[in-house]
Amino acid sequence: MKKFLYLLAAVAACAAAGAAGAHYTLKKEAPVVVETTVVHPDGSTSTTPSIYRTVNLTTDSYPDFTYAAEHSVDAVVYVKVTAIQQGYTPNNMLEYFFGFGSPSQRESVGSGSGVIIRQDGYIVTNNHVIAGANKIEVTLNDNKTYSATLLGTDPATDVALIKIDATGLPFIEMGDSDALRLGEWVLAIGSPYDLRQTITAGIVSAKGRSMPNTTGEFKIESFIQTDAAVNPGNSGGALVDKAGRLVGINTAIISQTGAYSGYSFAVPVNIVKRIVGDLMDFGSVRRALLGISMQNIDDKKASELKLSSPNGVYIADVAKGSAAEAAGVKKGDVLVAIDDKTVTDGASVQEMVTRYHPGDNATLTLIRDGRKKEVKVVFKGTVQENGTVDEDGAVAYFGAKLRPASQELLDAYNLKGGVEVVSVGEGKLAQQGVPEGFIIQYVNNQAVSKPQDVLDITKKAKRTVLLEGVNRNGRVSYYGFGL
């Protein structure tokens, strides 16, 4: 009974010291009965036998997030987005019920957050924050507002890069999301419900997390899951570690109400680095492709394949002409590592591969017929270099495919010449909303009749490219992008 009272006294002392802003650190020890030493802020000590780990209390509070918060908050910005939505205004009750009417436009306004990553105005946010924007405005913590230019987006990772014309800005240094540990403290900073520069704290609940994707779109998902409170408006904001380093971009929550319910998700900064680097250098993401279809492995599958553990992914198919086929990967292989990094599931494979560029080399560790096998792979890309000609004669142009417009198509629109956008793909044309079937008549005010004309004029352009042409509905449209 006396020992039990000592234990209660020690616990009470810890609680009192914690309430006064005490500092504690935990040392990893075996979960056996040990003597707990408590060092109080006044220098006195007390001991008691317990199964608890050693606790060291000092006059400094812990967890102390003041440095991380003050170091980071000025580099997290409020992003306001204005979009013009096309619609119809009914002129009578019949049109109202059947969805017809006169064409009309209305302005919609949304908001989110962004993170300054360089002092010269480069800002990372989410693709879904700025999607469809006609105007982007950024407001800093000092209430200065700037117009922002969209430099590029990557829907597959939900990352976008924008820029404002300013220098000497506060920015957040990028950390290493791979070094994050489960249970580590992190801060989420953003503007939920227009409450700007709001800071919440939580721990890393899981890594490499994926979420159900009902849209059918290809997504690279290997999220950091935290219990830091994130709400609408936090999207694009910063997830930082205790040192104030950027470790993720807050992106999503799982909720039945649309508000925070205990789970939030961030794109790891190591993925963000790769995407942002490509958007800065090329204006689009040069994504590496391995070319496999894969399945996660459960205990039953592991038993069937006679594996020692369910780690790795089962290769269900290998695409013809892919990097995997060229490396000698076969259907039925189990991929367990890429360059000595262990594969745990499909999400981890996606995260690893997205860090490579087309043309990069890697070593794949496979299990085939019960034996380990290493093969060398050279990754291929999703976007061909400008000017690359396919077997069907289509020419690559910033991720899109071009070919001379057929005479039948020209006659249909009463045009003398033009170049058809056969497919948009991923790249600058897709980012600017150029639709498939668009016929390019002029590039930088110069008439074009074949893809090579488009390429030649683009090469001579110093800053921007302006495309003028006709959409499938016959309406003349204009699209511009920076080089």
Give catalytic residues, as residue numbers.
Answer: 128, 158, 235
Alpha helix segments (H runs only) across 263-345: 269-282, 299-304, 323-327
Query: Which tokens sit at 105?
Result: 């436009």
At residue 311, what is the residue type? N
Residues in contact with 322: Cβ distance below 8 Å, sequence separation at least 6, in sequence order:
289, 290, 291, 292, 380
Tell me the C-alpha distance between 148 and 145, whole Å. 9
Tell me the C-alpha distance between 427 and 154, whole Å. 9
The helix or strand, by DSSP H or E, that contains position 463, with its residue range, turns out to be none
Query: Which tokens sit at 265?
Result: 């998700």
Phi-psi region of 127 (alpha: psi -120 to 50; beta: other; left: phi over 0): alpha
Asked if residue 177 lies in contact with residue 250, where contact means CB atoms within 8 angstroms, the answer is no
Asked if residue 476 lies in contact with residue 413, where contact means CB atoms within 8 angstroms, the answer is no
Tell me the C-alpha distance between 58 and 56, whole Å. 7
Residues in contact with 306: Cβ distance below 8 Å, sequence separation at least 6, in sequence order:
370
Taking residue 332's Cβ as centre, other Cβ atoms within 10 Å add up to 15
3-state secondary structure of 450: coil
3-state secondary structure of 227: coil
| β 45-50/102-116 pair status | unpaired
